């Protein structure tokens, strides 16, 4: 069984970037009444205690969501995400952090659908107890990479896919690229959000370029890539330097929202003097 548990990492800087982007994309989807389907291929547990042993062991949220809590100068897209974290906590104290299924569930309307895949039995159980009884939500304890394409395209032809593997297995890099290509071949207008780790590892360094090349030809409305570099590798070259978000068919408003937010996030979440960001886009008509 895989060892990765998102409870160790919930609310870290990577979640902040990923969930700010997810919330901005879903807000845009909600501008039209027509139903859409969200498919989350690697859903996790759906919500995490920040007071648990897991969260405290590495204290990653302290360099992520905790640095945003109580700030009154948040850029609007970040404030939107933090507002949902506040709703999830039901108060002013930061005790819990929502996972991607919870952010989606807070934003979806009665006509929309949520499809969740989580392969770890414990996280699947927690997720099922939280969202399993909700209307229009389906949860499967199976491989999200293979379960993805049968969900597409939805009858309304409006869809958002989140591909957020742990990359614990090196094969996740190739599977992520293949999944993006399969989705866009089936459904060229689908908005696909991919989370990517920034590591000193060949597969991680190559994946953004490979996603861009695929989306360049397959995505009707182009692609966007946003990266935050916040930390340094250790002496052996290990450690998460930062992360990025790749979006195929991004909403046209997403570039400007991230352009306004990334400099602020870089300054606020920096763990070394060389912290920096990058925002690129391409493809489309």
Residues lying near ligand SAM in the complex (CB under 6 A): 2, 4, 6, 18, 40, 42-44, 99-100, 117-120, 123, 143-145, 164-166
Q: Considering only CA atoms, which of 199, 217, 201, 23 is closest in space to residue 108?
A: 23
164 is catalytic: yes
DSSP 149: G
Give whichever of 44 and 283 is closer to ligand SAM, judged by the CB atom. 44
What is the rounded (10 degree) CA torsion for 148, 153, 155, 156? 110
H/E element holding 38?
strand 37-40
Q: Considering only CA atoms, which of 181, 174, 109, 120 is closest in space to residue 152?
A: 181
Give whichever of 197 and 222 is closer to ligand SAM, judged by the CB atom. 197
CB of 246 to ligand SAM, least distance (A): 15
Give whichever of 144 and 251 is closer to ligand SAM, judged by the CB atom. 144
CB of 273 to ligand SAM, least distance (A): 28
H/E element holding 41?
none
Give whichever of 43 and 137 is closer to ligand SAM, judged by the CB atom. 43
Q: Considering only CA atoms, which of 194, 111, 213, 202 is closest in space to residue 158?
A: 111
**Residue 38 · residue 26 · CB < 8 Å:** yes
Point out the catalytic residue in the list 15, 112, 164, 172: 164
Q: Which residue has the tokens 């450690």?
A: 239
Give whichever of 59 and 282 is closer to ligand SAM, judged by the CB atom. 59
CB of 227 to ligand SAM, least distance (A): 17
The structure tokens listed for 97 are 């952090």
Say how far apart CA 7 and CA 61 lie, in whole Å: 10
CB of 97 to ligand SAM, least distance (A): 8
Question: Among all residues, whose Cβ is closest to ligand SAM?
Answer: 99
Four-residue CA torsion sign, 211, 213, 219, 222: positive
CB of 40 to ligand SAM, least distance (A): 6
DSSP 139: E
Residues labelled as active-site residues: 164
């Amino acid at each position: 069984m895989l060892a990765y548990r998102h409870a160790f990492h919930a609310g870290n800087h990577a979640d902040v970037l990923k969930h700010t982007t997810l919330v901005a994309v879903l807000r845009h989807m909600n501008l039209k009444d027509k139903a859409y389907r969200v498919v989350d291929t690697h859903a996790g547990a759906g919500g995490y205690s920040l007071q648990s042993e897991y969260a405290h062991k590495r204290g990653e949220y302290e360099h992520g969501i905790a640095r945003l809590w109580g700030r009154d100068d948040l850029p609007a897209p970040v404030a939107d995400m933090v507002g949902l974290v506040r709703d999830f906590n039901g108060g002013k104290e930061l005790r819990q952090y929502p996972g991607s299924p919870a952010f989606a569930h807070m934003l979806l309307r009665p006509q929309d659908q949520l499809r969740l895949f989580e392969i770890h039995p414990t996280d699947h159980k927690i997720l099922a107890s939280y969202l399993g009884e909700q209307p229009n939500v389906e949860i499967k304890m199976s491989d999200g990479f293979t379960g993805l394409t049968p969900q597409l395209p939805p009858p309304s032809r409006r869809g958002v896919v989140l591909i957020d593997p742990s990359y614990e297995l090196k094969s996740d890099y190739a599977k992520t690229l293949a999944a993006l290509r399969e989705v866009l071949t089936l459904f060229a207008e689908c908005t696909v959000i991919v989370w990517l780790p920034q590591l000193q590892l060949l597969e991680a360094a190559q994946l953004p370029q490979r996603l861009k090349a695929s989306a360049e030809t397959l995505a009707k409305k182009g692609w966007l890539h946003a990266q935050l570099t916040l930390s340094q590798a250790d002496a052996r070259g290990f450690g998460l330097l930062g992360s990025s978000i790749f979006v195929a068919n991004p909403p046209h408003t997403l570039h400007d929202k991230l352009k306004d937010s990334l400099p602020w996030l870089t300054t606020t979440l920096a763990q070394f003097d060389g912290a920096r960001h990058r925002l690129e886009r391409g493809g489309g008509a």
